[in-house]
Chains A and B, each alone.
Chain A
């Protein structure tokens, strides 16, 4: 409601004489204020239920709004599957990210046509109308002149993204699968789930927990850390294979410092030993698995002595732990996504296969103390809620080459490892315009190449929260909403032992920022494709209704809607045989190795590059997401190169001194040495989420070096070279060797 001079006069009645002289600048409508409440209300005091969006663990939290802003965040005790009433260091810090003055506040337009790491984009604030109109014009120009495939969308395949992709009819929706989870995800998909990897473990009831590079408790992932600690309290034995002593290894009963990239050898030997010694769960294997005879025959070649030579784990240790694992029930082989079966090595896919096989041999899937497929509320699809006739996607080939992996293409995993090369080489065709949401260019292997690729695009839009490296390359930046601003719900997938919805109540947009779904609707209007827009609030309510609840009811129920049920193990799986396919009939049908065989990683240490390098993610950071927090950054202001004392002596370096790390990919970075016995002497480690070059980060900029600079770009040709045992592209992000010298 505007307040004008006229109103003053009206209200002032007879005594207006004095006001006639009011200077005209005081006559106009107020810009910042209104008389009526409710236009942009300040909520002074409220308890908000949230599902933490800092990492993907989906912990229920409670945000306390006092004096109009979130003052602290705690775990929601009603959430018995996520944080169990606790908030981790990241979740409890989220309000400092929400209130970071560096955040993107308004749509921005680039005025400096030159793009690069050292180029100031020269932002100017523009309206949403102008931003959408520009995007509509540039995208439609590309679509009309070069076909819809000339548009590339870098985003997770969430509902708004999928809608945008289908409306445009471009095959190029590219996400980060090959640098994050592809091998693990895909092995589960073909062998058991028909979908993705299950994130659900009944860890609390496990008596024996074994992991290969698995460090989720060390990443402050409460949905894994808390059950892990409960299991330990109840006496579970924990054994961690890792080239370095991770936090989880530190908490374990045994840390086995295995040679990096050789987990597959130990796993194959364990599988063989468990079968040869008759230690496997016969009832389970007979009833719920497929291909045991083929497996038995195939793995007989992999003895513990053979694996010991490769892995540097003594044969008697392999045998002893295999025996313990198979005879202590229930036993859990804990896996997530970026452990040994993640996209780390050229041999990670068979490693992921072998991990699933070993779990199945001890009856560790869909049984107490083991892995479970998530129990979720089913919900209507967006397309059933808002039916539309989408244009035909005529071009099936993708710029990231994923179409060459037909099985993976169906799973929409995407390739960050190859996309830059695809854009630069214009193979199979040129792309002209792009939009990227919530991805940092530093997440791409060898980020310099993606910088060059983005420069090649005629027009590039970034949707983000912070002025990241990606924003620095954008023509238009659109400010997204942080999870603490938006409202909605989450249908739990992590640790989903029973179906649970978590309410998300936000404080509303702080600035002129919009939700991703509203942004997609705006772009669809600008593309003259309004018929594909979705009433996202209506869709949300329809989903809640189908689960038998509503936002208001969830609020009354402490932010949770759940259908508690006993955990009854499945007897059928989503595979052609309806069993866990130790021998994958899908892989066989498509011409891939149906069973895991030993393969070396892409690279092996040499005289020139004698060391392996592994990367650690610090428990208080989520990639670069929290690295601009002045409080968290104090915990470790820069990353180090962790090395064994023997190695430090060999290269003549002392604690805290600078070293140069040279990678096989031709790049070098400089780091301070940290000397520790908690790592093999042939392996070095550094921490991720440093070396941010965007000067938009006022705290994070210029601290340490980016490990990604050392990592190889595993392009399509690399994956195709080992196609028989890699049905999905994997960036093999650790598969390189380095040299280390004193700076």
Chain B
């Protein structure tokens, strides 16, 4: 169970999932700040704790942001995000929804979406009004993974009984859901991205999932 993972590692996982949730949300000034601000060190520490060093990749991105200028870089990221995940000619290469990978018909809002959304509700969360997306959007799922880890830590500090419920939710969410489609999704992003940012982040996200599968899956 989760208790097998020591607290420092658990927090590192939470940080890395949250970091990736930001990276796979529509790019805004907060994303630029993430790569060119104080919190980056904490995030890099998180990766490092898992033995997944992204320092050089992050440095490459930060350097690019500085040389291109944050406004131009942001425009480029928004353009590529739209092309990869929103609407494009030709079609978006990497729809960021689980059901497109796990369902039979390449449709959104399938059974896998329902599985994720039910787990959100079981964990006491609802979709936010201003999150105008399908519940199984990759950014929501990465954020949810992070939230589950933080909540378990908080409840453990509270000596709350519901820790085991959250652990069970995390087990099901990761093993039965996220791990089933995220590798295919990140693989497609890494393959199709035309800017280094999404390629690098997708490659690293792929490594995180692999790490998680190795360390978390089946425990």
Indicate whether B120 reaches chain A with its CB closer than 8 angstroms: yes
Indicate whether B81 reaches chain A with its CB closer than 8 angstroms: yes
Determine how close the nearest CB of chain A comes to the CB of B159; give it in whole angstroms: 8
Q: For B153, list chain A residues within 8 Å (CB).
A: 18-19
Indicate whether B78 reaches chain A with its CB closer than 8 angstroms: yes
Chain B residues within 8 Å of chain A by Cβ, number? 70
A699-711 vs B: 1/0 string, CB under 8 Å?
A: 0010000000000
| CB atoms of A69 and B25 under 8 A apart | no
| CB atoms of B139 and A696 under 8 A apart | no
Complex Cα–Cα for A694 and B87 (A): 12
**CB-nearest residue of chain B to A69:** B109
Complex Cα–Cα for A68 and B116 (A): 11
Determine how close the nearest CB of chain A comes to the CB of B97; give it in whole angstroms: 7
Decide yes or no: A695 and B89 within 8 Å by CB, A23-B15, A25-B18, A96-B105 being known contacts.
yes
Question: Which of A204-212, A430-438, A509-517 forms contacts with chain B?
Answer: A509-517
Indicate whether B83 reaches chain A with its CB closer than 8 angstroms: yes
Question: Which of B51-59, B124-132, B199-207 forms contacts with chain A?
Answer: B124-132
| CB atoms of B154 and A695 under 8 A apart | no
The listed residue with most B CB atoms (<10 A of its CB), out of A21, A32, A42, A101, is A32
Indicate whether A122 reaches chain B with its CB closer than 8 angstroms: yes
| CB atoms of B127 and A42 under 8 A apart | yes
| CB atoms of B126 and A35 under 8 A apart | yes
Indicate whether A100 reaches chain B with its CB closer than 8 angstroms: yes
Complex Cα–Cα for A25 and B110 (A): 31
Determine how close the nearest CB of chain B comes to the CB of A43; give it in whole angstroms: 11
Chain A residues within 8 Å of chain B by Cβ, number? 62
Q: For A38, list chain B residues within 8 Å (CB).
A: 126
A17-56 vs B: 1/0 string, CB under 8 Å?
A: 0110111111000111111111111101000000000000
Number of A-B pairs whose CB atoms are under 8 Å?
193
Q: For B83, list chain A residues within 8 Å (CB).
A: 123
Complex Cα–Cα for A347 and B46 (A): 77
Q: For B11, list chain A residues within 8 Å (CB).
A: 21-23, 26
Complex Cα–Cα for A512 and B127 (A): 14
B1-38 vs A: 1/0 string, CB under 8 Å?
A: 00000010001001100110110011000000010001
Indicate whether B210 reaches chain A with its CB closer than 8 angstroms: no
Complex Cα–Cα for A38 and B199 (A): 36
Determine how close the nearest CB of chain A comes to the CB of B131; give it in whole angstroms: 4
Indicate whether A105 reaches chain B with its CB closer than 8 angstroms: yes
| CB atoms of A124 and B95 under 8 A apart | no
Among B38, B81, B154, which residue has its beta carbon within 8 angstroms of that of A125? B81
**CB-nearest residue of chain B to A34:** B128
B57-70 vs A: 1/0 string, CB under 8 Å?
A: 00000000000000
Q: For B75, list chain A residues within 8 Å (CB).
A: 124
Complex Cα–Cα for A696 and B154 (A): 46
Determine how close the nearest CB of chain A comes to the CB of B93; give it in whole angstroms: 10
| CB atoms of B89 and A101 under 8 A apart | no
The listed residue with most B CB atoms (<10 A of its CB), out of A11, A99, A698, is A99
Complex Cα–Cα for A18 and B120 (A): 25
Determine how close the nearest CB of chain B comes to the CB of A705; give it in whole angstroms: 19
DSSP class of B's interface residues: helix, strand, loop or mixed? helix
| CB atoms of B87 and A696 under 8 A apart | yes
| CB atoms of B95 and A101 under 8 A apart | yes
Q: For A12, list chain B residues within 8 Å (CB).
A: 154, 157-158
Among A512, A694, A697, which residue has its beta carbon within 8 angstroms of that of B132? A512
Q: For B110, list chain A residues within 8 Å (CB).
A: 69, 99
Decide yes or no: A105 and B87 within 8 Å by CB, A19-B154, A26-B18, A41-B126 being known contacts.
yes
| CB atoms of B25 and A36 under 8 A apart | no
Indicate whether A111 reaches chain B with its CB closer than 8 angstroms: yes
Q: For B87, list chain A residues within 8 Å (CB).
A: 102, 104-106, 108, 123, 125, 467, 477, 696
| CB atoms of A32 and B88 under 8 A apart | no
Indicate whether B79 reaches chain A with its CB closer than 8 angstroms: yes
| CB atoms of A105 and B86 under 8 A apart | yes
Q: For B21, list chain A residues within 8 Å (CB).
A: 31-32
Complex Cα–Cα for A288 and B131 (A): 61
Among A24, A25, A39, A467, which residue has its beta carbon within 8 angstroms of that of B127? A39
Indicate whether B108 reaches chain A with its CB closer than 8 angstroms: yes
| CB atoms of A106 and B132 under 8 A apart | yes
Indicate whether A300 reaches chain B with its CB closer than 8 angstroms: no
22 A–B pairs (Cβ distance < 8 Å), ordered by A: A18-B157, A23-B39, A26-B146, A31-B131, A32-B137, A32-B139, A33-B120, A39-B127, A39-B128, A42-B135, A68-B113, A68-B114, A68-B117, A69-B110, A101-B108, A111-B79, A123-B88, A124-B78, A124-B79, A125-B82, A695-B90, A696-B89
* Further pairs besides A25-B18, A32-B139, A33-B144: 14, Cβ < 8 Å: A22-B150, A30-B143, A31-B25, A32-B21, A38-B126, A40-B126, A68-B109, A99-B107, A101-B100, A102-B92, A105-B132, A510-B134, A511-B132, A512-B132
Interface pairs A-B: 5 shortest CB-CB: A512-B132, A32-B140, A698-B91, A67-B114, A695-B90
